[in-house]
Amino acid sequence: MILDSISKPSDLKQLNINQLKELCAELRSEIIRITTKNGGHLGSNLGAIELIVAIHYVFDIEADRLIFDVGHQAYAHKLLTGRRELMENLRTENGASGFPDPEESEYDHFIAGHASTSISASLGMAKARDLDGETYKVISFLGDGSLSGGMVYEAMNNVAGTKNFIVILNDNQMSISESVGAMKLYLAKLLASRGGLSVRRLISKSLTFLPKKISRKIENCVKAIIQGNNIFEEFGFQYVGVLDGHDLEKLIKIFTNIRDVATYKPVLVHAITQKGKGYAEAERDATKMHGVDKSKKNKYSDVFGKTIVQLAENDKKIICITAAMKTGTGLSEFSEKFPDRFFDVGIAEGHAVTFAAGLAKQGYKPFVCIYSTFLQRAFDQIYHDVVLQNLPVRFIVDKAGFPGADGKTHAGLYDVSMLQNFPQFIIMAPSGQMELENMLKFASDYDKAPISIRFPKAEATDVYPPSIFELKSRVIAEGETALIISVGDMLKTALEAVAISGKSPTIIDARVVQPFDFETFYKYAENHDKILFIEEGVLGGLSNVIAEKLFADKKQYLLKKIQFFNASKFHPSHTARNTQLAKAGMSATDIAKNL
């Protein structure tokens, strides 16, 4: 394999065009093999291969800075930068992360688990470079719906005049699902105007007898007539497009030209690619094959998706909103059955929250469905637009807790600490399928305050028969000496710990994190010698609420009995969720030892 001879980007410069094309084919096969074995993001990486190979061939990647936007499209980059062995164990312990990570490689210059960030980061690096008197190029690689996030435009507003600054727009008309919004239509318009390129070239060649400044003005006028005003050029870019992102030979020629153009103005290259290119199943269904998930279990997001459809059939006020995560949050069926009540706002979490606040103000029942780690991006909107008006927006906080193979960029460990700052905010955590169903019914009927329901990326199994739901904890078992208080899905771990230990502790399922049921807690805490508190989040969530309340009630002596099991403050590496629990000292074995 040609790939066997590649250990660093400069190795590509020894290859001819036919060898580079063969390298693309090998990368495609390798990515399919690795993701089929380990799971991971498939479709986006297959579509980006020719662009990434051309970038590594033309530019000096050992000196230039390549920054990814939505870093799950960087697998080919990793394979070309000495990480082939690490990629063999992609998204597993001691293997490669599914996202760029500066701790993993000198060729990863910025962490990229979220979207719409690369131009801001790249612009910061470019300005620092200029201040240092250096001239290396900074390249942003956008894709998978990055242009639906407002941060991109905030950054582009400051780009004008920046030299040696290049943006590669990998336009596959997709995020995880099909891209949405006006920018999608605008990019399609640019694609439709591609036929005008030959006319513009002809006019340009015909005006060679005129001074360059005058001929350029005439060419721009013709371009405006054919294509209209170009938003990227209004931001100060030299726009190049629309290109075939799989035509390697042409990409190399264009990149070679813009390498020189970029020395005097910023350049944006617009290339069309096919998500899932070269893999028939991924080409047929780009949404389904965005990522390979080896787990076929009944997850919490699946339960949510089925239940919200049932509730919406009887309640026309229910609205579902997601930020480019329709499939991941279980909303595919809802979007098909109730298209007029489903809104995918793109990668715009802040807008999603304030949009929901507007709906709630008008008497509707919005459910904002966002992963825990992405909800953090909307903290200000949650506070200013929802909490200050006490609007009944329902937040479905998916992937809350340890992130598993997605690793630290997707750690959902902070949402409770974030939301418990707001006293009226109800925070719930189901321990299984039926508890989640009951909580969703409660949330759909509750209109007195905002609500969040958080659950992990895990199987939704009922380990204990649910009772009628109310805003109280429930007592699972009564015992002696030790008291276990578990939050949400951690009830499974608590029951497993009890089975290992052979003890008979009292077990309380704290299904409502806020307002916490202190009445039940005090009833049992006073009569037990040891209290084990298990929470899948960082120290500072419910544990902090309990500590503050004990001091306020002059019961701080109870703190001597309590042992908190939580994620503390560390960034979990990409490995199995159970391994992450063990590393945090939160496994069933860890808890059993303390019983």
pTM for the predicted model, two decimal places: 0.82
| Residue 2: partners with Cβ closer than 8 Å, 6 or more residues away | 15, 19, 22, 23, 26
pLDDT tens, the chain, 595 aa long = 899 999 999 999 999 999 999 999 999 999 999 998 888 878 888 999 999 999 999 999 999 999 998 878 889 999 999 999 988 988 888 888 888 888 889 999 988 877 888 899 999 999 999 999 999 999 999 987 788 888 899 999 999 999 999 999 998 875 445 555 566 666 666 655 554 444 445 445 555 666 666 666 666 565 555 555 688 888 999 999 789 999 999 999 999 999 989 888 999 999 999 887 866 675 565 555 545 565 567 899 999 999 999 999 999 999 999 998 899 899 999 999 999 999 999 888 999 999 999 999 999 999 999 999 999 999 999 999 999 999 999 999 999 988 888 877 788 889 999 999 998 999 999 999 999 999 999 999 999 999 999 999 989 988 888 778 899 999 999 998 899 999 999 999 999 999 999 999 999 999 999 999 999 999 999 999 999 999 998 877 788 888 899 999 999 999 999 999 988 766 888 888 888 888 888 899 999 999 8
275 is catalytic: yes
Mark whether 112 and 256 lie in a shared domain.
yes
Measured CA to CA, the distance from residue 478 to residue 170 in angstroms comes to: 58
Mark whether 278 and 363 lie in a shared domain.
no
Measured CA to CA, the distance from residue 248 to residue 408 in angstroms comes to: 34
> Domain range holding 86?
2-192+236-284
* Three-class DSSP category at 319: strand
* Three-class DSSP category at 267: strand
Mark whether 528 and 426 lie in a shared domain.
no
- Residue at 370 is within a domain: yes
Of 255, 284, 313, the domain-final residue: 284
Mark whether 240 and 372 lie in a shared domain.
no
Mark whether 64 and 176 lie in a shared domain.
yes
Of 78, 83, 129, 377, catalytic: 377
Mark whether 181 and 318 lie in a shared domain.
no
Query: What is residue 175's predicted lDDT score, i.e. its pLDDT?
Result: 46
Backbone phi, psi, residue 575, to 5°: -165, -175
Q: Which stretch of DSSP H or E encloses residue 232?
A: helix 231-234
- Nearest one of 283, 275, 193, 270 to 237, comparing CA atoms: 270
Of 50, 349, 437, 536, catalytic: 349
Mark whether 168 and 310 lie in a shared domain.
no
Query: What is residue 196's predicted lDDT score, i.e. its pLDDT?
Result: 43
Of 83, 275, 277, 457, catalytic: 275
Q: Looking at the 3D structure of the chain, how many domains does it have?
A: 3
Of 419, 454, 489, the domain-final residue: 454
Query: Helices marked H in 39-117 — which ranges?
Result: 43-47, 49-58, 75-79, 84-87
Measured CA to CA, the distance from residue 235 to residue 228 in angstroms comes to: 15
The average confidence (pLDDT) of the chain is: 87
Strands 342-344 and 318-322: parallel
- Nearest one of 372, 318, 319 to 349, comparing CA atoms: 372
CATH no. for residue 256? 3.40.50.970
- Residue at 208 is within a domain: no
* Three-class DSSP category at 142: strand
CATH no. for residue 503? 3.40.50.920
Measured CA to CA, the distance from residue 571 to residue 567 in angstroms comes to: 9
* Tokens, residue 182: 């006006």
Mark whether 341 and 277 lie in a shared domain.
no
Mark whether 490 and 551 lie in a shared domain.
yes
Beta strands in 279-416 (DSSP E): 291-292, 318-322, 342-344, 365-371, 394-398
Query: What is residue 284's predicted lDDT score, i.e. its pLDDT?
Result: 63
- Residue at 379 is within a domain: yes
- Residue at 345 is within a domain: yes
* Tokens, residue 516: 């916490």
Measured CA to CA, the distance from residue 192 to residue 245 in angstroms comes to: 16
91 is catalytic: no
Measured CA to CA, the distance from residue 215 to residue 209 in angstroms comes to: 9
- Nearest one of 60, 107, 59 to 79, comparing CA atoms: 107
Interval 241-250: pLDDT, tens: 789 999 999 9
- Residue at 221 is within a domain: no
Measured CA to CA, the distance from residue 43 to residue 286 in angstroms comes to: 6
Mark whether 321 and 241 lie in a shared domain.
no
- Residue at 295 is within a domain: no
Of 405, 426, 454, the domain-final residue: 454
Mark whether 271 and 324 lie in a shared domain.
no
- Residue at 144 is within a domain: yes
- Residue at 96 is within a domain: yes
Exposure string (b/e) for 317-347, b if CB count within 10 Å is 16 or more? ebbbbbbbbbbbbbbbebbeebeebbbbbbb
Mark whether 326 and 450 lie in a shared domain.
yes
377 is catalytic: yes
Query: What is residue 248's predicted lDDT score, i.e. its pLDDT?
Result: 95
